[in-house]
Structure 1
């Protein structure tokens, strides 16, 4: 089995659906994995690897070792503190005998009783993967079968050695120590026994196995001096994160409002440009309409000039009206009956005719007439310049026409 498989085996068992505390186990594994990327000095400064003190009773001496970052270092040897049997308890002072020997930072570390390897009974077992979360409780039912002791006569714990590739089950090692082998050492510790966080056993290489034989109810909960600071910093981080998110939201809102104002200004300019463009289009269309209307019929100056050439000298106009394509003449003439013939053949109008009967005018001795004609549409190429009509020149008498 590969080392990576060995490390991920317990985690995979804890993440299996239905296992209690899966999230807690995953977070613990994830935090340890992230912390492993940091340098040892940084982990130590952050309190991630504070370590623990191992108290080893050997004869009349107490050896204090520091277990930190996987290494065990001897710190001090206290003579004369131990040597009292379990049957002869002594009255020791309640003060901490290690406080004067160790630095304050080291003296605050959790304290564990460290037993020699010969005092422990170790058995390998195979457990289902679902037992990883409550491994200690599960192996408690196997003590009668795996050891010659009753469960009440031993202090025990279990550790996961790895996962099997074939069936996914766990290789577990049961570590059990008779209570009569632990009790003398706890009595020998005197006041230090009340502050034990656990009991560990040395392996074949002298390093701790990583088990805790002490019952959960008897373990001393070491108060983390940085707990208050960590909680305060965590609260401060949450508040800072909330303020940062609020500031980001405010910035987004301000940017959205500014963008909306910019769009509104551009929309107003666009509306003004559209209105100006529409007005210009209307003017161009109107001008084009006038140009087409002017090009489709002769101008009034040409019509008046043509009438002046064709009307006889004894004819006077009282009214000349051009409405659309209709030309109307009202006046007096001594040749009223011949006016229709004189106006025929012009390129500027067509179908000249008298409207109504001729009415004699006693005052002038002429006949009053009303004559209408339809203006002729011009050819597209003939709108700019028009040659004069080859008719006898006549004198216009519009200005002298009686009213």
Structure 2
């Protein structure tokens, strides 16, 4: 039992990893923009308010003057998206096969120290995929890898934190300001994003498992209901066959020729009728009632395809003039078609 549990846990972990990698591959969840964008232009800091179409310039100032409160007057308590100049930031371009698209993060994680000048524990990094027609035609993926040291990052964001301004995204000043940054070098941002993607994957799996369990339960209930109905019908037919057999034996042993003839007239066609119906009616059809009045036979039941029963009954040498005596309706419990057919004995079949 413990081995089965361990196997299931490994399978779930692998599935979560695949779903997390898939989200990373297509850029889910999409990053939400901060209300204010702060671009480091070396000589000055330019502040923009993010609008629906493009950022609106709100003011400029020097990093050294942050304590004077010029930036606080613009952004207030709102977090900012910070774009750094290229000083201290290393950008590398990688080309990977298209087949590796779902495993880019794992590939970079294993090769980052060979690509960048800092050990992994002393730097922060992020990447994005550079989509282009040339890349698609070459069968390769162009990946932009951006990294900087933890020391450089702390010296960049601490002046803002000291005056109560919180950078929630740290990207590059060279990227266009019209859209959200595809790079976030903020320490801990990658781990938080990975955890969020894993949480989304876990929620999706739970929802799918719940839907699957509901479908299986519903299907099992309908199958059990159909099996119960079939058993009830079989029991009714068995009881009817038993009564007919008793009547037949009584007719054979009675000394009254008139009674003997009458019982043969009633019992023998019924036995033949039951045998004929068992041959003609498919396994997907269940009879719930069978009424015989002279040459008229009324057959009631449930079927997956009631319309086909007419031709099946008319192909019998014993029966003729088959037709529906009531409209076909769908049974809400069994999801089968409820039918009522009126058919007649042929002259030879009744005798």
TM-score (norm 1): 0.39
